[in-house]
Homo-oligomer: A and B are copies of this chain.
């Protein structure tokens, strides 16, 4: 990195961190209608960030939902065009009582910036904006052409992005997509992510009697209890060893190759350390696979939430009228979320206990995605990390889903490079989410290296 850039980053560090904290302080919870105004406020804040960084044509695009932010800089005619994708919306912060500091009052402590969205994705998209601003401020130009696409509905499955992209594809056309919304392998263990799991999310609602009933009277024993029915239905979907028992669920799974299994086994992943960190006596899941394999190359079906009846500590002797559960499946190549959803609906239909009615509401769907590990744009990302971190970069997959990755790759017909700067224990969907300041600093330098060398890679491109 040039001395001028280094000096710039150092001189601006406090200003940047303060600005990122203001970004995080906006409670842009896309899944909760009550926060609609905050989403709009956050959209405009994001647009201002792009504008002040030197991006042109900055626009808040109306989609019918939370807006998309666009901005570009297109004055490097010989160089490739990179589409940088990110999102300004965040997950709900609940349970609030588990946060040691309010989720929307970000605070820096022990080298970590705490707050909802600190890693996912405000901190990471902020690195992109500032890495480019630094180039522009210190040299007056950029080594690549860039377009920003920052949406506000990633955490609810990007429902309006696909239709919007389909009708405005030209605006976003690029040679490559770069996204920083994943985790590295660990502290000072940089990693390029070359695969993501897909997702299908749904809600099961079980209805029994028209009203809550006393569990005594003439009812307890005489009518089906919706919680029992739901519990039985959910238990029927997974065996005691963690294998999903929905017919056909694994039929299309492409198992990891021996080479990939070997590569996964070679990663410095410590199951004992994970157990200690999570305070569990043992890890758990499908037999015959390591924890990393289960999390990255095997599909899952997880109950994310369940509610029914009176769950206060004091108890209440009722048979409730309804019970609900939220479930998501993580999918791997070559599973199709719509086919999986159909298999689950079939399973529910054939396993619904008597005496209740079950309603299934599909909530989100995303296809799994893998980029070829030997793609030059992926290999360059590894070099960029190694330059900034001074240590070996790993190639990993991720257990999470970024629905837009597969969508962008398919629509634009270009590869997607996932350069994450989060950490596995950064609590990205839980309480006390944080962003490591070490990754804030090294992330800026990683990206600067990447922009500098991308044109050379592109000149030699042979894919």
Which A residues are within 8 Å of any B CB, using their own CB? Answer: 31-32, 91-92, 94-95, 98, 156, 183, 197, 199, 201, 203, 208-225, 227-228, 231-232, 234-236, 238, 240, 242, 269, 274, 277-286, 291-292, 294-296, 298-300, 302-321, 323-326, 328, 330, 353-357, 361, 363-364, 398-401, 424, 427-432
Contact = CB atoms under 8 A, between A and B. Distances in A.
B220 A300 contact: yes
Given A240-B353, A363-B315, A431 B211 contact: yes
Nearest to A205: B313
Contact of A316 (B278, B326, B398): B326
A354 to B, nearest CB: 5
A422 B286 CA distance: 53
Interface of A is mostly: loop
B318 A430 contact: yes
Contact of A222 (B285, B355, B427): B285
A86 B86 CA distance: 64
Given A220-B330, A427-B211, A306 B311 contact: yes
A380 B274 CA distance: 70
Contacts of A328: 215, 315, 317
A2 to B, nearest CB: 35
Contacts of A219: 295, 399
A227 B235 CA distance: 10
A318 B291 contact: no
Interface centre among A299, A300, A326, A356 (most CB of B within 10 A): A326
